[in-house]
Amino acid sequence: MTATFDTGSAILYVLSDRCKLCPKDKTNYSPAGSSSFRGTGKRESQPYGSGSIAGEIAQDSVCFSSSSGDCIDNVSFIAVDKASDIANDRFGALVGLSPFNAESNPNLPSFISQSEKQFSFFLPKGDGSQGKIVLGGYDLSQYANEGASDADISWSNLVDDSWTIPMNGLKF
């Protein structure tokens, strides 16, 4: 399964094998195949771009690698069983990283509020190297000059409920 990380969305959704109209190459998640899946019986729908998704609000362990140490237990998400206009999407799951859930559904908290509340991106330099996302922290060796320490990181508070930070100026 592939997932896209979206800083403009707050929720997690996963295309499930219950979705009859979803592209079969993207529906690898099987609620029946998970021993930790718990359905709530509540439904949620969300518009995305020109399409939409709908499904049951559920909880399960979410793992971003094959190592069980990389899992977050009891994550609330939408197990998608109905979707429209998603055939061109290149992913079977969307991981919302927005700090604010605009939908404000008490049954579906934002993904980031259910995890370590910290993530970082390493963007490749265009030289064929690969990018990286770290959930729950950061990899100083990827993001700083050699010899840098945690003391060299500059932290900034958010201005509002988005990823907006205050700036006094910008230099290039």
The pTM (predicted TM-score) of the whole model is 0.82
- Once rounded to an integer, what is the mean pLDDT over residues 136-143? 79
109-137 in b/e form (b: 16+ CB < 10 A) is: bbbbebbeeebeebeeeeeeeeeeeebee
Handedness of CA 9, 12, 18, 24 (dihedral sign): positive
Domains and CATH numbers, the chain: 3-114 (2.40.70.10), 119-145 (no CATH)
Q: What is the pLDDT of residue 34?
A: 93
Nearest to 99 by CA among 58, 158, 47, 45: 158
Q: Averaged over 66-88, what is the pLDDT?
A: 86
Is the sign of the CA dihedral 142, 144, 150, 153 positive or negative?
negative
Task: Report the 10 Å Cβ neighbour count for 36.
Answer: 12
Closest CA to 12 of 102, 126, 95: 95
Single-letter amino acid, residue 6: D
pLDDT digits (tens, 9 = 90+) for 21-71: 888 888 779 999 999 999 999 999 988 878 899 999 999 999 887 766 678
